[in-house]
Structure 1
Amino acid sequence: MIHNNYKYLYYHKCIENKYKILKIYSSIDEFSSFSPCVFTLGVFDGVHIGHKKIIKHLLHRSYKKYTPVLLTFDPHPRKILNPKKNLLYLNTLSEKIKNLRKIGIKHLIIQPFTLKFSKLSTKDFFNILQFKIKEIIIGYDSHIGRNRYGSYNKLKKLSYVYGFNIYKIYPCKLKTKIISSTNIRKSLLLGNIKYANKALGYFYTISGYVVKGKGIGKSIIKFPTANIKIDSPEKLIPKNGVYAVKINYLNNIYKGMLNIGFNPTINKKNKKIKIEVHIFNFSKNIYGNKIDIFIINIIRNEKKFSSIQELKKQIQKDEINIKNFFSYEEKN
């Protein structure tokens, strides 16, 4: 599980060498620094606006004075400590790196999270760091060390021993609701796309390659769709339904409609979720190509229709509704 994700690291190290923006380290042992650092750590799944608040504070505190360092974990600690729960990611590792780079992180440590690592005490954790920390920025609910021992108050006491200052960043809220990766996951699974996008600070995105389907959309429904095989089986897919989306193909943005579901009207025995996108005013052959789908809003939930004709009429209505939605959004 850990090593498969590290195929992304080679790619992003190539990006690093090309643009000289982000340096990535595959473990704590790989990073060392003689200059004093400002440090933060966490999973940062989704890199939502609460995470960005922490990171922007990190960059502000380090500006022209210290080296900013962010440490994240892969896989998510909950996958190791509670493997029976099927935790799904808001971001693949590749997406997380991309989002962190956009904010301006210069030094990113991706620490493999293992059972052995989880047993480190708070003091043991600080002892293995090969760099001098001057300041630590943590979230309101962050803990460091075995059994979540290192709370803000405990770290405050340790700060006198290790010689660093510590700052706690209070949570961001939307309509009195604390923004968290957990709440965003729940919102996506309930189809509350507007809340999820606001909390993330960007449109929730799924990426994958266009693969051949059974051709039902084109031949039977007369509505061609691209079948998408997503990058990672651990990526969270929103609630089944029809969505207004934008599609990035070769750095060109198109509008379209996305269907997530089991296709109950056509294939009653299908138990595998399909992800299909219809791109408006588009006729290119894109089999084998990768696309990014930005999920803007949900239009309706998945529904089983009594006939193919009824399904076709509904799809036509969906297209009109989505085009009207985009037209309204552009005017307002």
Structure 2
Amino acid sequence: MLESPRRPERPVLTIGNFDGLHRGHRAITEVVRTRAAALAGTAVVYTFDPHPRKVLQGEHAPGMLLTLDQKLELFEAAGMDLVVLEPFDAAFAATPPERFVRECIHEHIGPKEVYVGYDFHFGKDREGSMRLLTEMGPHLGFSVTVIPEVTVDGRDVNSTRIRTLLAEGEVAEAAALLGRAYAVRGEVVRGDQRGRTLGFPTLNLARESEILPCDGVYAGHVRFLDAGDPAPGTALPAVTNVGRRPTFKDHEPSAAEAHLLDFEGEVYGRHIELSFSHRIREERKFEGPEALREQIARDADEARRLLGA
């Protein structure tokens, strides 16, 4: 899953940003995987870090749906043999489309077949078109196939649509487009211990991920990623609050804190992934701690029901 100094054997290639690695992207990687297997070749992804929009749009770029680690793990799970991770900066952004195809694709990777999405553009100012790629490919020894869009409910699956759904708290709909529950990553850090005093201790997340769903209460899972107890890979059901804790504080930035259902133990410092499967309710201010405690108990019961826990 790392860039190799040598050309891969009989590479079957896809190129793109793959923000979210959603069902539309997975349609492409599945074709790449099956074609590479048929050719006894290598399934290769050529992608960029940081995302080009982070360089070209700066602070106006949208938040990303995946951390780099999440993206690489999902590529591996999708059966990709090799990820070529191109450092993207202003100098690389100025690469003419013809040079990109000839040097970055042909000379560096040497693909036999290339598969890209229907909206693929490349090179300086995104001037490179599918027409240019399909014209140059055969002269350089590779075929080019465009994978059509994937639709859900009559609309195409794309990262912008998923970000909009998350901003609206529609995590179940976002999961339908992603092919999995949306999840964020980070480290468990100490909070103000208020959840513990209410009888519902929480994991406070110092998140690495850029996007949280909108403020509210959600059911999902906490998956442990590093060594410790629980063991790495363990996923436990949780009820999660995203928001500013208005019963106790005002004007706080939104944060995520998860209560593990029917679990006792200290996990400070652990690296976790927190998923959002169902939205239970909006975040709201309560009259006091006791009213909040009673509502959290109801939220936990609803999370158990939704998750079958």
Q: Deviations over 1:170-210 (max 9, x none)?
A: 01111012111111111111111111111111121122222
- Partner SS state of residue 133, structure 1: coil
**Alignment partner of 1:45 is 2:45:** no
Q: Specify the alignment match of 1:315 in structure 2.
A: 296
TM superposition shift of 1:86: 4.3
Matches within 5 A, 1:161-180: 161-180=139-158
Does the 8 A contact of 1:31 with 1:109 survive in 2? no
Aligned to 1:145: 123
- Take 1:62 and 1:319, find their aligned partners in 2: how far apart are those partners? 46
Instruction: Please give the root-mean-square deviation of Cα atoms over the aligned residues, in Å.
Output: 1.8
Q: Is the 8 A contact 1:35 1:132 kept in 2?
A: no
1:225 partnered with 2:202: yes
Aligned partners of 1:93 and 1:271: how far apart in 2?
28
1:285 equivalent in structure 2? 266
Distance in 2 (CA, whole Å) between partners of 1:33 and 1:315 is 55
- Tell me: CA distance 1:242–1:152, structure 2 relative to 1, closer, same or farther (3 Å): same
1:56 is matched with 30
Is the Cα–Cα contact under 8 Å of residues 43 and 79 in structure 2 kept in the other structure?
no
Partner Cα separation in structure 1 for residue 8 and residue 221 of structure 2: 45
Q: Structure 1, residues 98-155: CA drift from partner, whole Å, max 9, x if none? A: 0000111111100011111111111111232323232211100001211222221222
Distance 1:207 1:56 in 2: 26
Shift of the 309–183 alpha-carbon distance from structure 1 to 2, 3 Å rule, reads same
Task: Please state whether the residue corresponding to 1:286 is helix, strand or coil.
Answer: coil
Q: Indicate which of 32, 42, 51 corresponds to 1:76.
A: 51
- One-letter code aligned to 2:246: P
Q: 1:131 to 1:247 in 2, by over 3 A?
A: closer
Once the two structures are overlaid, the 10-residue window that deviates more, 160-169 or 95-104, is: 160-169
- Kindly report which structure 2 residues correspond to 1:93-112, keeping only aligned pairs within 5 A, or say none: 93-112=68-87
Contact 2:97 2:128 in 1 (8 A): yes
Task: Give unpaired runs (5+ residues) of structure 2.
Answer: 225-230
Secondary structure (helix, strand or coil) at the match of 1:131 reads: coil
Structure 1 residue 305 corresponds to structure 2 residue 279: no
Query: Are 2:134 and 1:156 aligned?
Result: yes
1:258 aligns with: 240
Residue 124 of structure 1 pairs with residue 99 of structure 2: yes
State percent identity of aligned pairs. 30
Pair 1:316–1:131, CA change in 2 (3 A): closer
Which sits farther off after the overlay, 177-186 or 125-134? 125-134
Contact 1:143 1:151 in 2 (8 A): yes
Q: Does 1:296 align with 2:296?
A: no
AA paired with 1:259? Answer: N
SS of 1:84's equivalent in the other structure is helix
List structure 1 runs of 4+ shifted beyond 3 angstroms. Answer: none
SS at match of 2:110: strand
CA distance in 2, matches of 1:218, 1:245: 20
Task: Give the CA deviation at 1:64.
Answer: 4.4
* 1:38 to partner: Cα distance: 2.0
Q: Is the aligned partner of 1:272 residue 2:253?
A: yes
Task: Provide the TM-score with structure 2 as the length reference.
Answer: 0.90
CA–CA distance in 1 between the matches of 2:235 and 2:9?
43
TM superposition shift of 1:225:
1.3
Q: Which runs of 5+ in 1 are unaligned?
A: 1-21
Query: Number of residue pairs matched?
Result: 298
CA distance in 1: counterparts of 2:8 and 2:275, whole angstroms:
42
Residue identity matched to 2:80: I
Among 173, 182, 202, the residue aligned to 1:204: 182
User: Equivalent residue for 2:164?
Assistant: 186
How far is 1:34 from its partner? 6.9
> Aligned pair in 2 of structure 1 residues 206, 172: CA closer, same or farther (>3 Å)?
same
**CA 1:168–1:31: 2 relative to 1, 3 Å:** farther
Distance 2:306 2:43 in 1: 42
In structure 2, relative to structure 1, the CA distance for the partners of 1:131 and 1:254 (3 Å cut) is: closer
Deviations 1:259-280 (A, max 9, x none): 1110011112x42222111111
What CA distance in whole angstroms lies between the structure 1 residues aligned with 2:255 and 2:134? 49
